[in-house]
Amino acid sequence: MPNWYWDVKPSDAPRIIVEPPGPRALSIVKNDESLIMQSFGRWYPLVIKRGVGPIIEDVDGNLYVDFNSGIAVMNVGHSHPRIIKAIRDQASEFTHYSLTDFYYELAVKHASMLIEITPISGGKRVFYANSGTEAIEGSLKIARGFFKNQRPYVMAFLGAFHGRTYGSMSLTASKPIQRFGFNPMMPNVIHAPYPYPYRCPFGKGLSEEECGEQALSFIEDWVFGRLVDPSEVAAVFIEPIQGEGGYVVPPINFMRGLRKITEKYGIMLVADEVQSGFGRTGKWFAVEHFGIEPDLIAMAKAIAAGLPLGAIVGKANLMRLPKGSHANTFGGNPVALAAGIEVINVIKDEDLLANASRVGDYIMRRFREEASSSRLIGDVRGLGLMIGVELVKDKVSKEPAIKELGEVLMRSFKRGVAVIGSGKSTIRIAPPLNIPIELAEKAVDIIIESIRSVERETFPS
């Protein structure tokens, strides 16, 4: 192993030796803008050189505490020696041979491990893809194909992010720019309000439970009562915790009630765990917090420690598309599967689910304590290390503090914490699951100091 993994310790970070962005970073950013299509927005000019555990280094030698995990991907941290060894060992054997045309043992081994940790009872099957959006596309086909197009409708929720290819984009309802200019969308997609407790779409003053009940009533009374008969709905897609929508945790009664509705009408429930899976919330999958079992789970991101891999795990009786109807060339790549096997092993062996819960509880406690005196922090929510800190200009009107969010993120970056936002004005906190509490404490201190400095400028009197 390179000495890099062992030489950098949590006590070394953060370390800013050149004010970011430094000269090398600025040069790379300039070339990036001239060579790469800029159809995605960056939060700030962080140019990565390497990473170890929960620490990343930029090209100018600055060390940052990683509160992003590469957007909830590096759950076992950067450059984990067991992951690197698995990748190297497999790459020396073979790197590709199209699982959808031939066979290899790695896929059987990984699929059996994946089935073991997936919270669906009974017989299960796996389909491999390359990404989260492909896992959602495959889930769409499984749902419609199972019903042989007798149920042409699918449902998703406002605020949802399910991907950017056409089927998944049609389910997405997070930001208008993600759909602008790409119509027509896939037909027969219904969007219902998501019960966002802090901003309940059904009115102010409702408790979390009341918001959940209203969301369930809307589906029964308005969607099924006035728009489409439930017998024509193949599947309901839901993020157990909305990601791009603002790290929103729905009420427990809503998730349980939604499962009852789908069972009542024979509708598949598809959990999009692309961002919330693989220990991010302190359990293998976020649905476990709600005590429900979906029919299909779509996953990707953290499944293979940064290598492109996605998967669908579902009930065996549903995972039965006819031969030739769905396949791909690279899904289940052997190198990615080798990494994926070690991801599961590392999370188990290093007790990372418990660490995610322990450190997540600490981080939420710190921000909730700060919220009691802060004029900017409107809400703190989350499960495990999937935490949202929502900033507002006014705690009564709850006007999103969009500009202020950008300032907080930039100031945190310049002081050595890599953290981004979600929703309109929410700080998205998603460090690697192996982050020590001492390092999390330093990062939280910096973010809170950044919030306070922005707050002083926003509310000078």
Summarize pLDDT for 346-378 with one digit per residue, the tens.
999 999 999 999 999 999 999 999 999 999 999
Q: Tokens 């449902």 correspond to what residue?
A: 155
Q: Which helix H or strand E contains 312, and what residues bound it?
A: strand 310-315
Per-residue confidence (pLDDT) for residue 199, from 0 to 100: 97
Which of 1, 148, 76, 33 has its CA nearest to residue 302?
Answer: 76
The Cα-based distances of 38 to 127, 293, 422 in angstroms read 32, 39, 19
Which of 146, 103, 201, 194 has its CA nearest to residue 312?
Answer: 146
- Is the CB of residue 337 less than 8 Å from the CB of residue 153? no
Taking the C-alpha atoms of residue 251 and residue 176, their distance in angstroms, rounded to an integer, is 26
Is 228's pLDDT higher than 50?
yes
pLDDT in tens, 420-443: 999 999 999 999 999 999 999 999
The lowest-confidence range among 9-13, 122-126, 281-285, 300-304 is: 9-13
Is 1's pLDDT higher than 80?
no
Helix, strand, coil shares of the chain, percent, nearest 5, are 40, 15, 40
Per-residue confidence (pLDDT) for residue 211, from 0 to 100: 98
The average pLDDT across 395-419 equals 97
pLDDT in tens, 184-206: 999 999 999 999 999 999 999 99
Please give the mean pLDDT across all residues of the chain.
Answer: 96
Per-residue confidence (pLDDT) for residue 2, from 0 to 100: 43
Each as own residue / partner, the long-range contacts of residues 224-233 (CB below 8 Å, 24 or more positions apart, any chain) are 224/265, 227/190, 228/153, 228/190, 230/264, 230/265, 230/267, 231/151, 231/265, 231/266, 232/150, 232/151, 232/152, 232/153, 233/151, 233/153, 233/154, 233/155, 233/190, 233/265, 233/267
The average pLDDT across 312-330 equals 96
SS3 56: strand
Is 233's pLDDT higher than 60?
yes
Per-residue confidence (pLDDT) for residue 81, from 0 to 100: 94
pLDDT in tens, 270-309: 999 999 999 999 999 999 999 999 999 999 999 999 999 9
Which of 280, 238, 248 has its CA nearest to residue 70?
Answer: 280
- In percent, how much of the chain has pLDDT > 70? 99
Per-residue confidence (pLDDT) for residue 118, from 0 to 100: 98
Dump the DSSP string for 116-168. HHSS--S-EEEEEESSHHHHHHHHHHHHHHHTTTS--EEEEETT----SSHHH
Is 6's pLDDT higher than 70?
no
pLDDT in tens, 27-55: 999 999 999 999 998 999 999 999 999 99
Is 4's pLDDT higher than 90?
no
Is 446's pLDDT higher than 90?
yes
For residue 205, how many other CB atoms are within 10 A of its CB?
6
- Specify the amino acid at residue 243: G
Taking the C-alpha atoms of residue 172 and residue 218, their distance in angstroms, rounded to an integer, is 19
How would you list the strands of the sheet with 377-383, edge to edge? 377-383, 386-391, 426-429, 420-422
